Structure 1
Amino acid sequence: MHVLRDILKPCAKALSAMPFALSLLFGVTAVQCLDVLPSLDALLPLALVAALTAWRCPRARSLCWMVLAFVYCVVRAGAVMQQRLPRRLERQDFDVVGVVEGLPQVRSDADRFVLRVEQARFDGKPFPLHGRLRLAWYRAPKAAARPCLRWRLRVRLRRPRGFMDPGAFDGERQALLERIAAVGYVRKQGPNRSAGRRAFCIDGVRARMARAINHALDGGKGARLLRALGVGDKRGLREGDWRIARADGVSHLLAISGFHIGVAALLGALLIQGIWRLWPSLGKRWPRPAAAALAAVLVASVYACLAGLGLPTLRALLMIAVLAAARVSRRSVHPLQALSLALSAVLLFDPLSVLSAGFWLSFAAVALLLAVLDRRRVSGLRGWLRGTGQAQLLMTVALLPVTAWFFGQGAPWGLLANLFAIPVVSMAVVPLTLAGMALQPISATAAGVLWRIAGWIMRKTWAVLAVMAKWPGAHWYLPAVSGFALLLACIGALWLFAPRGIPGRWLGLLLWFPLLWPRLPPLAPGAFRATVLDVGQGLAVIVRTRHHLLVYDTGARYPSGFNFGDAAVLPAIRASGAGPADRIVISHGDNDHAGGARAVAKAFPDARRLSGEPKRMPVPMPPCHAGQHWSWDGVRMRVLSPPAHLRPLLHGNDLSCVLLIRGRGGRLLLTGDITRRMEPGVARQVGSGPPLILVVPHHGSNTSSSAAFIDALRPRLAVVSAGWLNRFGHPRPKVLARYRRAGVPVLDTATAGAVSIRFPVAAAPRVIARWRRNHSAYWRE
């Protein structure tokens, strides 16, 4: 009891604001668990009852605040969803006037930017379209997509819709966070012209500062990293940079975090301290502590705005403002009190922020540091090393559950990497970068000197981090985390880092087992599981047996650099907890099937490869031909097409590798893009056997799926891999009608998301997951 009393005593002052903040947090978070937002007709009377109860019954206030927070979040979320483009108007043209926001991406294929809509017209009449549009402008005029420019554009729009795959990025959740009402592209035929520019906007300042840094360092890695640190400009960062950051657990250094804002505030306070020491008479007019506090807030605010005012920066800025206000008013505020007030302010300002990883990582990190770290001060180098080591150990271990939940990976070497990188970045790179930004309007030459020094230091630091990223076990991926495993691991982390005096702290490690070593559903010999991924207008399939893994096709790659190998195939494999791929089969050379092959082959260099068109592959692959076969764990795999003797006479889609996978209880036929010409030969080789599941040829095109082919196979289920509202109209209505007449049910990844099918030993195949239905949420289409 004495131990608990000593622990809670320093936090007693923080408890006054904490109940309100936690009630807001629980109420807002509860909304994010809903599949459908409830009607306001039922919620508004509930809110009125909660408000009256809170007024009349103080003991029930925490519960009432939770209810009010729930209703408030439903109202805000409903308003954002209402701003989205109506479904009936998808793929229609609109004339809009708006201002370019943020820092646009200018690439060789297109300019990509966000447009804040000011006016909109549809079919010549005003239309109530509000919010932000995420647009691509192909072959845009030079310097068209610049911040603060106002444009009059004709755009074709659709609702934001992401890809639903295991372990993949949730694009629809991100669209909700960013208030994206629609996505689309600028039409060439429209009256696209400039309509002036906004008089002042902070994004224009950010863009000019980014160009100045880039010019001073002549581009290159140093410029890319300093732009990210200085103004939150991550456009120049490459996938390799992010891979190093993730492996070393230093991504927070590239995304301006609360830590950087704290450094900026400290620099502002130290500047005022120095001025007041030089001119002590200033203290008679304005006390030095109050002036330093206000300077800290001012510098931190300017830097936060230049950084784009993300959630971590906003949290840090609010905490600094609370502490500064207490300093000016000569009142004592416990750091937990400041954190609670900042949490309340963020939730009231944007209750949907709880959907972002930055929210949880930012607030959880500070809360853990304040609640757990030993407050006994030890002076000198020993004290600094002790405090830094404790903080990094806490961040690396205690935040692993949250990191695994959002990103599916951890950084085993993150402790050492952060112990090395954080002092260098905080004591040298960030101060030099900020000083250069302050000097740039006065002297570009002086600013350039500081930036070059900072760039040199950052390049050397990054070189060390690149070496650490290659250490064994640096890339540690975890299977998909369940909510129960996350809860147990969080409790285990709190128990493990509990203050001294609480017995059995090491037992907290036991609660980590469900997170680190989850029990994966076993597959018996002769059984297998297949997942047809949602990769838009393309194809990617993962097949897992008891001890082996096959990848069949990898989706597309786009000129922007985005590819489904990195975005869908690899995350799905890691989320499943399966081992590395043993074989990669690319049906043929079309981009929508082979685009992600390079990324998958790089991730699994020891995997054997096959392709129907080896000469068109981005990586070396031997040709496939009918008759090739192998067996894994009682599951037989056989290539049915193309016939070896016909390869010289075939081309394009008809060279697709057709693969038949046969387990004891079911079969799966992967057809690529074969046409009717190849279907009779494939059907003859399929023959009779256990129930068959068919992946529909060529995404449901009219060139395939003849009635004779369907009648010969008589599949139990057909799965189409096609893009939502794709320009080809796949799957074609005539093709769907053929399957319907044959009594074959059809699943489309465009509407179902990824489709997972289990092929057991002693039963017929069955669908075990339709990712869009099984993981529904109110923000998903």
Structure 2
Amino acid sequence: MAAAAAMLCGALAVHALPALPSRGIDLALAALAMLTLSRPRLRAVGWLLLGFAWCAFRADLALAARLPAELEGRDVLVIGTVDGLPLRRDDATRFVLQVEHARLDGIGLPLQGRVRVSWYDGAPDELAACDRWQLLLRLERPRGLVNPGGFDAERQALERGIVAVGYVRDTDDDRRLGARAACVDRLREAIAAGIGARVADPHDAALLRAFAIGDTRGLDQGDWEVARANGIPHLIAISGFHVGVAGLFGVALAWLLWCASPRLALRVPYPLARGPAALLAALLYGVLAGGSLPTVRTLAMIAVVAAMRFGRRGGGGAHTLALALLAILIVDPLATLAAGFWLSFVGVAFLMLALGPVRGRLRFLRELGLGQLVMTIALLPLSVWFFGEASLVGALSNLVAVPVISFVIVPLCLLAVLALLLVPAAAAVPLALAAAVAHAQWWLLQHAAGWPGAHWWLPETVPWATGLAVVGAAWLFLPRAVPARLLGLLLFLPLLWPARPLPAEGAFEAVVIDVGQGLSVFVRTHGHALLFDAGARYPSEFDLGEAAVLPVLHALGTDRLDRFVISHGDNDHAGGAVAVARAFPDAARSSGEPERLALDAASCRAGEAWEWDGVRFRMLGPRADAEVATARGNDRSCVLLVEGRAGRLLLPGDIGGRVEGDVAAAAGDGPPLALVVPHHGSRSSSSPAFLAALHPAIAIVSAGWRNRFHHPAPDVVARYGAIGATLVNTADAGAVRIAFPADAPPRIVARERDRQWRYWREGTPGGGAVGAPSRGAASTSSQTASAALL
């Protein structure tokens, strides 16, 4: 156990670094680790050094395998195999390609690894798992949005070995080259098709595919919201417990075989055969399930137990878990970057700690009930750390979901899979039974998802608060003889009630959220909150309102939104509005083009004004005259001026040069100004006269990385440079936080990409300031495309 814990600490130390050490240092530390491992008193130090050196080396190799920066935006001809199950949507088919060869202009490239690919405008029907294809791809390095409380796509890319993202260029070079002879994913695809053909209800079929083979392609965002609200995402896509059920299925088959042929006991005693039988069944199921991390952890534990039993050696649960942890760290130390790694191992460790030996007929019921309470409390700190939310109804929902899914639906799915492989006609009965139970189960979960506390959002936390809460959870579940166990609850306080400094009277703060090629700005005074725009929503159902804006609001502790302004109807400003309105239905809504929105909103007009906490808000546009009122598009954008005692913020939407003069005149003179650059830095806006009149001290461009519009335009960047403004681009800096104190000029207090800088982050620290136009030009949609793919 000490060896596994020390090696884990070494890997964690690597993930805290802003930059990786050189390979020479990795080699030196590994040599030092070998020396210390031979000394009993220093053995723990040796394992720690070994974990650090091994994890750093593997991370270095993974980052070095990424697409070279100079090849971004270039068309590369690749040959590779479809890895996993392709995801077909209305706008595109998405899949992972395991690259074997790559060429640029006929010259070979040293590019190998996994590439996430989108095939727009209708991928051919023959595209399937395990197929070999030659494709012309437009590629970029994995890059994602960076926001407070946001999902880290770049970390996930490193953990999953993604070396590039891109899309297929439709040319004559794209063609199928055949298929691999032996491929598990093709078998998984056949099983998925078999389930779909035998279950009438598409949603029931999607659930059964998830339970049977870990195929979640048929589940949408609403399904995952229901799962999160009930605390059961781990049950949807093949949990480790399901693999254990498969192991028990193998034990049962072995028992039947030994009963049918008693002579087998003369060669191998049944108690010795149980372990290999469980491992074989679990291994087959784990492979069919796609080999997720909880699956691998359970397989490792079953393998350890089977080896011990077969070798007639003893070993407790903690020892088995430690050996499984050590095995995963040796095979793939980068697995420690995944949330599933921590939820899996920490959850099992707490169950072992809390559920001691219990005898009697009610043992199962006690363990089931207490187990759900243990998992809810023990995993709460990690859920808040990774996802920013927890479910207060999860323990109750799991009391029903765990036995129903694990002991009814999953065994029926196992029988159906076995039947599909051996006697397909026999699969209809277990699938019909499983579908009926799954349908009723999901109906209950949907209703429970609406209960109070189903979605419990918590502000962004810090590592030490999460660590304290984990210690507090362990303290709560120590043996009964330990005194004052309830004091462990006190260690949860920094996590559940973190310090939330708010602006003073007459002051405010703003966050220009990183939504790629779009806009969303959050403004907060001492007691009120306003959101200006909500990013885009794409045909793939990737919604920036859901994926970027709401996590920022929750991370900043926003439990009420007083006003929601949607500047105009363009998708990059209004696409995510429905998701935000659904989360904050009581917020007053207004827009410059309410008729173009998918939700009700009042019209905003120049002259409207209000005051919150000593901060004045004024609408400077659109004008109410007939010329603007009958216009459509950018010039009808709501233009909002926020005025504190010592600083101002202007949010002009997508206005162009035609109305900039009126806006500048209405803004007038006042304290130093921070400006969100109109229309993402387009050439049609930020005219010299507009900038000369306002003379902003700070200017923020909200644009996508390598966007196809070339925003911000080089001449616009030059204009801001000429007036001495500090110009920052969210494409380089991530979300930008600006403070407007009551007694000092506005200042940028955080560039999120710098604040969350780790060695896997793309770009360079301090790279948010714009001194030159964004690199290159690509015809993909931008940074948001990478986030959607990941």
Same fold (TM over 0.5): yes
- Paired amino acid for 1:743: G
For 2:643, which of 658, 662, 667 is the aligned residue?
Answer: 662
Of 74-83 and 287-296, the range deviating more from structure 2: 287-296
3-state SS of paired residue (2:748): strand
CA contact (8 A) 1:548 1:579 kept: no
For 2:88, which of 102, 106, 110 is the aligned residue?
Answer: 106
In 2, the alpha carbon distance for the partners of 1:652 and 1:241 equals 35
- Paired amino acid for 2:255: Q
* Structure 2 partner of 1:601: 581
CA contact (8 A) 1:153 1:190 kept: no
Q: Deviations over 1:416-436 (max 9, x none)?
A: 111111111111100000011
3-state SS of paired residue (2:163): strand
- Paired amino acid for 1:272: A
CA shift at 1:206, angstroms? 0.8
* Structure 1 partner of 2:13: 30
2:733 is the counterpart of 1:752: yes
* Structure 2 partner of 1:780: 761
* Structure 1 partner of 2:193: 211
Q: Trace 1:10-29 onto structure 2 (pairs within 5 A).
A: 18-29=1-12
CA contact (8 A) 1:276 1:283 kept: yes
* Structure 2 partner of 1:154: 136
2:387 is the counterpart of 1:404: no
CA contact (8 A) 2:513 2:735 kept: yes
CA shift at 1:580, angstroms? 1.9
Question: Cα RMSD between the aligned structures?
Answer: 1.1
Q: Deviations over 1:518-543 (max 9, x none)?
A: 11012212211100011111101111
Of 690-699 and 363-372, the range deviating more from structure 2: 363-372
In 2, the alpha carbon distance for the partners of 1:374 and 1:178 equals 36
Q: Trace 1:91-170 onto structure 2 (pairs within 5 A).
A: 91-170=73-152
- Paired amino acid for 1:440: L
3-state SS of paired residue (2:365): helix
Q: Deviations over 1:288-323 (max 9, x none)?
A: 122222111111001100111111000000100111
CA shift at 1:139, angstroms? 2.1
Q: Deviations over 1:719-757 (max 9, x none)?
A: 000000111110000000001111111000000000001
* Structure 2 partner of 1:578: 558
CA contact (8 A) 1:676 1:706 kept: yes
CA contact (8 A) 1:753 1:772 kept: yes
* Structure 2 partner of 1:429: 409
For 2:176, which of 169, 194, 200 is the aligned residue?
Answer: 194
Q: Deviations over 1:620-643 (max 9, x none)?
A: 112111011222122111110111
Q: Deviations over 1:480-532 (max 9, x none)?
A: 01111111111111111111111111111111111111110122122111000
3-state SS of paired residue (1:677): helix
In 2, the alpha carbon distance for the partners of 1:154 and 1:460 equals 46
CA contact (8 A) 2:628 2:635 kept: no
CA shift at 1:650, angstroms? 2.4
Q: Trace 1:285-364 onto structure 2 (pairs within 5 A).
A: 285-364=267-346
* Structure 2 partner of 1:4: none
- Paired amino acid for 1:730: H
CA contact (8 A) 2:7 2:47 kept: yes
CA contact (8 A) 1:112 1:145 kept: no
- Paired amino acid for 1:230: A
- Paired amino acid for 1:565: G
In 2, the alpha carbon distance for the partners of 1:413 and 1:770 equals 36
2:33 is the counterpart of 1:50: yes
For 1:378, which of 359, 373, 386 is the aligned residue?
Answer: 359
Q: Deviations over 1:316-356 (max 9, x none)?
A: 00100111111222221211111111001100110000111
3-state SS of paired residue (1:625): coil
CA contact (8 A) 1:393 1:415 kept: yes
CA shift at 1:219, angstroms? 4.2
Q: Trace 1:636-675 onto structure 2 (pairs within 5 A).
A: 636-645=616-625, 646-675=627-656
CA shift at 1:223, angstroms? 0.7
CA shift at 1:190, angstroms? 4.8
CA contact (8 A) 1:549 1:579 kept: no
For 2:464, which of 481, 484, 487 is the aligned residue?
Answer: 484
CA shift at 1:45, angstroms? 2.5
In 2, the alpha carbon distance for the partners of 1:393 and 1:26 equals 28
* Structure 1 partner of 2:783: none
* Structure 1 partner of 2:524: 544
- Paired amino acid for 1:48: A
CA shift at 1:779, angstroms? 0.7
CA shift at 1:110, angstroms? 0.9
* Structure 1 partner of 2:724: 743
CA contact (8 A) 2:623 2:629 kept: no
CA contact (8 A) 1:554 1:595 kept: yes
* Structure 1 partner of 2:237: 255
For 1:244, which of 226, 231, 237 is the aligned residue?
Answer: 226
TM-score when scaled to structure 2? Answer: 0.95
* Structure 1 partner of 2:349: 367
3-state SS of paired residue (1:501): coil
CA contact (8 A) 1:81 1:779 kept: yes
3-state SS of paired residue (1:538): coil
In 2, the alpha carbon distance for the partners of 1:777 and 1:145 equals 37
CA contact (8 A) 2:528 2:612 kept: yes
Q: Deviations over 1:653-708 (max 9, x none)?
A: 10011000111121100011000000000000101111110000000000000111
User: How many pairs align?
Assistant: 761
In 1, the alpha carbon distance for the partners of 2:30 and 2:282 equals 37
For 2:604, which of 624, 627, 645 is the aligned residue?
Answer: 624
3-state SS of paired residue (1:567): helix
For 1:524, which of 504, 514, 518 is the aligned residue?
Answer: 504
3-state SS of paired residue (1:761): coil
In 2, the alpha carbon distance for the partners of 1:223 and 1:289 equals 38
CA shift at 1:275, angstroms? 2.6
In 2, the alpha carbon distance for the partners of 1:551 and 1:565 equals 11
CA contact (8 A) 2:353 2:477 kept: no
- Paired amino acid for 2:490: L
For 1:75, which of 29, 33, 57 is the aligned residue?
Answer: 57
Structure 1, unpaired ranges of 5+: 1-17
In 1, the alpha carbon distance for the partners of 2:343 and 2:265 equals 40
TM-score when scaled to structure 1? Answer: 0.96
CA shift at 1:209, angstroms? 0.6
For 1:393, which of 373, 377, 387 is the aligned residue?
Answer: 373
2:661 is the counterpart of 1:680: yes
CA contact (8 A) 1:261 1:303 kept: yes
For 1:535, which of 497, 505, 515 is the aligned residue?
Answer: 515
* Structure 2 partner of 1:450: 430
CA contact (8 A) 1:106 1:145 kept: no
3-state SS of paired residue (1:688): coil
- Paired amino acid for 2:34: A
Structure 2, unpaired ranges of 5+: 763-790
| Alpha carbons of structure 1 residues 649 and 393: separation in structure 2 relative to 1, 3 Å | closer
In 1, the alpha carbon distance for the partners of 2:8 and 2:353 equals 18
In 1, the alpha carbon distance for the partners of 2:24 and 2:434 equals 57
In 1, the alpha carbon distance for the partners of 2:382 and 2:356 equals 23
- Paired amino acid for 2:92: A
2:742 is the counterpart of 1:761: yes
CA contact (8 A) 2:91 2:539 kept: yes
CA shift at 1:362, angstroms? 0.5
3-state SS of paired residue (2:421): coil
In 1, the alpha carbon distance for the partners of 2:108 and 2:122 equals 26
Of 45-54 and 132-141, the range deviating more from structure 2: 45-54
- Paired amino acid for 1:745: T
CA shift at 1:205, angstroms? 0.8
Of 487-496 and 644-653, the range deviating more from structure 2: 644-653
Q: Deviations over 1:21-44 (max 9, x none)?
A: 111101111100011101122332
- Paired amino acid for 1:46: L
